[in-house]
Structure 1
């Protein structure tokens, strides 16, 4: 980063791949800065409806979490050369407590789709989470509709799609009742 009197902040890219320390150069401005295989990916700030769904998911999961489990909004996951920030991360008991969670500590990641993240949340991020061995992935699409996926040898398989007005009890990562329409 370079600055001068009366100048705008200017960022410079590293000479090689982006790494986790490079993420600390960015301001806390609402953008989501992530690294995918050494390449920087930036998502614009998310709107209030998106944030309301994230808060409701965190509340739902925390309310059902057995003692020792952690439910966190925007806790980063370090998956090899990628540093991803899911909307919601559920950590198993006895996890390391590192700033960037180790995938072996993660039981579930949740992505809430937005207009600027739809393809990223549907295609790229699930493949990276699966490659890292995270056993459960939820994706929330418009409606809201919950798509609950479980990791198989072939990647994530959609175990259940839950419509907005359904009330369903899921068993993983721990027993939890979900009603997507209550999240908006």
Structure 2
């Protein structure tokens, strides 16, 4: 069966959140960064499995009222982003598509070749600008995943507070006390 053809209609202004609802549900990830539309292909199976493992590890230690969501929409500094994993504070709305940054304690991005630059530079800057307290970036390496853990400093940028690899499980305290051991996660 032939795929339906989608006719792109560029807005006569910057892209806005409402424009996302008019795009096809074709598996691509559509995000708006500073008024520009960014399209990335669907993440691969390994990427999705790794994000699921991170979510499971966070959820296993989640205090009452906190939630760990995959693929939630996040409003950030005139942008609409979709982190791989988002930790919501107990004050966050019970349901919805887009979340406000004030309701987020941590965002996690799992790098893919198509997202590497945004995950290392663009997205952390936007997350810091809106005051998200913690950011994790996960690289998939030959020996297993490595988690780069960052905390917000002075409300303007992130400082690296540590890395966790497959050979160095640790006990962490952010966003809550929990063990973090990526040794059994997919590469």
Gaps of 5+ in 2: none
Match among 157, 160, 174 for residue 158 of structure 1: 160
Deviates more, 1:126-135 or 1:151-160: 151-160
- Which residue is 1:72 aligned to? 69
d(CA) in 2 for partners of 1:127, 1:172? 20
Q: Does 1:14 align with 2:11?
A: yes
SS in 2 for 1:142: strand
d(CA) in 2 for partners of 1:69, 1:63? 11
Structure 1 length-normalised TM: 0.93
Gaps of 5+ in 1: 1-5
- Which residue is 1:118 aligned to? 116
What pairs with 1:22-171 in structure 2 (closer than 5 Å)? 22-97=19-94, 98-143=96-141, 144-153=145-154, 154-171=156-173
Q: Post-superposition shift, 1:164?
A: 1.6
SS in 1 for 2:98: coil
Deviates more, 1:147-156 or 1:84-93: 147-156
d(CA) in 1 for partners of 2:139, 2:117? 11
SS in 2 for 1:41: strand
Root-mean-square deviation over aligned CA pairs: 1.4
Task: Give aligned pairs, total.
Answer: 179
Structure 2 length-normalised TM: 0.91
d(CA) in 2 for partners of 1:129, 1:8? 35
The answer to whether the 8 A contact 2:71-2:85 is kept is yes
